[in-house]
Amino acid sequence: MNEVTALIGGTGIYAIDGMNLQSETVKTPYGTVTVQRTDDLVFLHRHAPNHSVPPHKVNYRANIKALDMLGVKRICATFAVGSINEKFDLAVPIIFDDFIDFSSGREHSFFDTIKTGVGHVDMSIPFCPILGKALQAEAKNRGMKVRNGGTYASTNGPRFESPAEIKFYRKMGADVVGMTLCPELPLALELGMSYAGLGFSINWGAGMTPTIELIHDGTDKIKEDMLRTMINALKNTNNKDCTPATIL
Ligand code: HPA
């Protein structure tokens, strides 16, 4: 039987055209999640169908647990982000390789009850390098420009940052800011999954332009390229090649 993989769509990525997807509802101990799927690919919109849930209210544990219950071991996820490093051009997809978590007040672990016990997941290699390489190879095949490597500062939202916060995140080593990587990625790693993140910058961080201006024009082609790249990267990898993070 084919391995089941997942694609998590962020802002702007709501569907996969040209695929016969069936709706499925999964009841997890953390809440109910609806996904669209084929036999071997599960599409989950992070903010729920219709983009009805803001970043700080997403039920990250239910989302990740639902994928786990469907047998998913490999995830590719998309993110709309803001660039805070001038080298990170808008609308050029980024394959992330590191992150800093500035989010707060979110349920951020599965290891928090007597049942689940104490567990500390190793974050030394947060993004799966095998999936990252597969994304790079696919992007090359498609003639799509991507940036390989970048650090995501995960903020709480839903507000944008202040100019001083952006300067601070830049000094801390971040290249982009976004509101949803955490706790999604750490939760996936806690459940033994491999995770790749493909970002898409839609604005410059606060203070870099007079006010925040989001780009919309010309992004459909990039989003379509990102989707196809992720689908093929998942097809061209195997669970056994992707080493899950250690739980200490
Ligand atoms: N900040 C935080 N999250 C974002 C931004 C931003 O500038 N742009 C898109 N998501």
196-232 in b/e form (b: 16+ CB < 10 A) is: bbbbbbbbbbbbbeeeeeeeeeebeebbebbbbbbbb
Cα 160 to middle of ligand 1, angstroms: 6
6 lines ligand 1 (CB under 6 A): no
5 lines ligand 1 (CB under 6 A): no
> Could you tell me the two tokens for 57?
């209210």
* Separation between Cα atoms, residue 177 and residue 200, nearest integer Å: 11
pTM comes to: 0.97
pLDDT at 69: 98
pLDDT at 17: 83
Exposed / middle / buried, residue 28 (Cβ in 10 Å: 0-12, 13-18, 19+): middle
* Separation between Cα atoms, residue 214 and residue 202, nearest integer Å: 5
165 lines ligand 1 (CB under 6 A): no
* Separation between Cα atoms, residue 2 and residue 78, nearest integer Å: 23
Residues 121/123/124/127 CA torsion (nearest 10 deg) = 120
Ordered by where they begin, the domains of the chain are 5-241 (3.40.50.1580)
Cα 185 to middle of ligand 1, angstroms: 17
User: Tokens 């597969």 label which residue?
Assistant: 134
pLDDT at 112: 86
Q: Which residues contact 42 (CB under 8 A, 6 or more apart)?
A: 4, 5, 6, 7, 35, 36, 67, 70, 72
* Separation between Cα atoms, residue 8 and residue 104, nearest integer Å: 22
Mean pLDDT by 10 residues, the chain (248 residues): 91 84 96 96 90 93 98 97 98 97 97 85 98 98 96 98 98 98 98 97 97 88 94 96 94
Nearest atom in ligand 1 to the alpha carbon of residue 203 is 8
